[in-house]
Each structure stands twice: as C-alpha cells, then as structure tokens.
Amino acid sequence: MRFSPSTFREPASDRSESAAPALERVDAYRYELPPGLIATAPAEPADTSRLLRLRADGALEDRRFFEFAELLEPGDVLAVNETRVIRARLRGTREPGGGAVEVLLLRPADGSRYAADATRWTALVKPGRRLREGARLRFGDAATAMVERVNADGTRVVTFALRVPLETLLDAHGEMPLPPYVGPGDEVRAARYQTLFARVPGSVAAPTASLHFTPRVLQALEARGVETVPVVLDVGYGTFKPMEGDSLDEHEMHAERYEISAEAAAALERARGEGRRIVAAGTTVLRALESAAIDGGIVRAGERETALFIRPGFQFRVADALLTNFHLPASTLLVLVGTFAGYERMRAAYAHAIAVGYRFYSFGDAMLIERRR
C-alpha cells in the first residue's frame, strides 16, 4: 500500500555532501496521529487489545492479543522484561514558601541499580526554573531533600534526608509515573501500569508491550510449546527522552541497566543453536538482548549498562520477532521499530493502524513484527 502524505512525512532528500541520509533525519520519523487514537486507558480485559501482525513477507493481519500464542511456533523463545515500575513521581513542597514541586526519580546517583536505601537520586524536577542548586524540598513528615547539583542535561541530583524507609516515602508521596498523554493518574490505571511479569523494582516507565499479557495468554503459550525466558532492563530517561535537532546523530541516549542471568543466556543460546526463533516482548527486551550480544555475537550473561541506539544500519544478532506497542512520532523507539521492520514496512503498518483505528502509545494496542531469518 502507499502512504498518505498526511500520515507520514516523506523522508527528505538532500544531495549536499554534508547532509544526513534520508533515514538519518528526525523528520523521517514524524507522522500525524488523530488525537482520538491516543489510548487513555488500557483494554479490559488486557488481552482483548488489538494485535497487528506484520509478517516477514510484508503482509498485515488484524488480530486480537488473546490470539498471540497462535502466531508463535512451538519451540519459540519469548523473552520478557521482569522489571517493576516504582512509584517514582513524588509530590512535595518547596521551602520556604510551600510552593508545589514534583520530583521524578530516575535512578540512584551513586549507581544504576535501584536500591531501597539510596538517598541520592538523579531526577527530573518541576518547576525547573525554581529548583536550582541548593533548593530545599519537603515531603510531609516523611522526608526533606536538597537539590545537590544541576546536571548539564537538565536533570538534578537530589539528596534526601529520610525519616522513614524509602519504600514508605514512595507509598505515601509517590505516584506511578503514568505518561502525560493519558491524562491525570488514578489508582485503577496505575495498577494496570504494571506488567504480569513485574518482579525487580527499578523502572520509571512500564515495558508496555507486556501490559497485554494475561494468565490465559500465558497458559496458551505454554500449551503451544513456547519457552518464556526472563531478562531485566530498567526503563529510564533514555527510553522516553525526545529526539532533538535534525539528525539522529544529534541525539544522545542515556544509559539504562540490564541484567541477563546465566540460565537465561544459556536458554537463549541453546535456542539459537537449535534454529528456534527468539521473540522479544518489547523494545526494552530487544535492546537488552542485542546489547548483550553486540561483542562476539553471543548473548552474554551479567549485569551491565547500555546506551545502545538502534538505528538504520544496525545488524541484529539475536531477535527474530518483536512484540511492541505503537510509539510516539520522532522517538528513538520508532527509529528502533523502523530499523527492525524495515522503514517502508513500518510506515505501511502504521498507516494501516491509523486507517483502521488502532489505539496508540502506552495503553494502546500491539504489533508483532516478524523478520526474514
């Protein structure tokens, strides 16, 4: 099918030697989305969400997520992200004066792993113009805090003086960091912003491809003979930071922690050696798997950080298929999807999804992308 110019912008062409190739331009990843297609609440039940299958031959199939297991093959390995979203958005007051402030905890400032006893955090703050170095904050009777440093990227290092355990502070003053485009948060949607696999705390955003899974889908996968393998990638600022400038070269990814156990790495390598498919449940899983195999071509176990930006020209080593939601325009996740699927195939899938009314973004519908092996 052809794209309507009103849906996706045609990649710009420029013959000057200094110009970036068309698919290296941020504008190539902009598209128009009717506001009514932005999902503000998840499907109920979760597995009734729509699922667009993009087959390896380019054909498109409209399905429902409860049919997901039918689209996999016996022996496939489904890699899932076991990260758990923390109540990272803290609301407090500024001292003196009592003005409202918001602090979004990103990661401990002294290390990448979430720690329940961490008191120094890298964070985003509002209002940024008032929360300069030395600004003091209060979170009820649970804690006070001070902005220790303003980083070059606009984040802050915030030091807390805790009067209660960190988990108690998060429970009392923290909120699930729902994306702003879904509207004001509430406890019902906050509970749904946690995946069925969530086990290891540390993320500030959900690995949204896994929000569609339900016990009946997992039962169907087991009955189908699909092996499930857990990994962990803590979703941080690097995932949702918008791209700036005209070229992909101008975007700097933030590092995110990932961990692959020895058992998981062995299962993935065994499947690869036997010619079975690896299906990544989400872009976070894809980045973890490809980061682990980027040196030497085999999936290495261990805990590391990755700032991998998957973009045109990247050579995939591990994943054969990708389950993912529909992503924001001009985002690094859309670049990843376009690189994995092939740019024209991605554009065709998005144009189709918009035309037939799929729901977009974190609480929206899903897409299964298959690649030729």
Residue 244 and residue 256: Cα distance in Å, rounded? 20
Pairing of strands 83-85, 200-203: parallel
Q: Give the tokens for residue 243.
A: 């791209």
- Where are the chain's structural domains? 22-84+193-370, 88-175
Point out the residues of the chain with pLDDT beneath 70: 1-21, 185, 238
Residue 228 and residue 360: Cα distance in Å, rounded? 26
Global pTM reads 0.92
Residue 335 and residue 193: Cα distance in Å, rounded? 24
Residue 334 CB neighbour total at 10 angstroms: 22
Q: Which is nearest to 90 in space by CA: 175, 210, 150?
A: 175
Is 46 in contact with 363 (CB distance < 8 Å)? Answer: no
Residue 50 and residue 301: Cα distance in Å, rounded? 34
Is 257 in contact with 112 (CB distance < 8 Å)? Answer: yes
Model confidence pLDDT, tens digit, residues 253-284: 888 999 999 999 999 999 999 999 999 999 99
Is 355 in contact with 33 (CB distance < 8 Å)? Answer: no
What CATH architecture is 22-84+193-370?
Answer: 3-Layer(aba) Sandwich (3.40)
Q: Which residues pair with 64 in a beta bridge?
A: 50
**CA 80-81-86 angle, 5° bins:** 150
Residue 4 CB neighbour total at 10 angstroms: 12
pLDDT attached to residue 12:
52
pLDDT attached to residue 13:
46
Q: Give the tokens for residue 78.
A: 């489904």
Domain 88-175 top-level CATH class: mainly beta
Is 23 in contact with 317 (CB distance < 8 Å)? Answer: no
- Crossing angle, helix 343-355 and helix 332-341, to 10 degrees? 110
pLDDT attached to residue 2:
35
- 3-class DSSP assignment, residue 64: strand
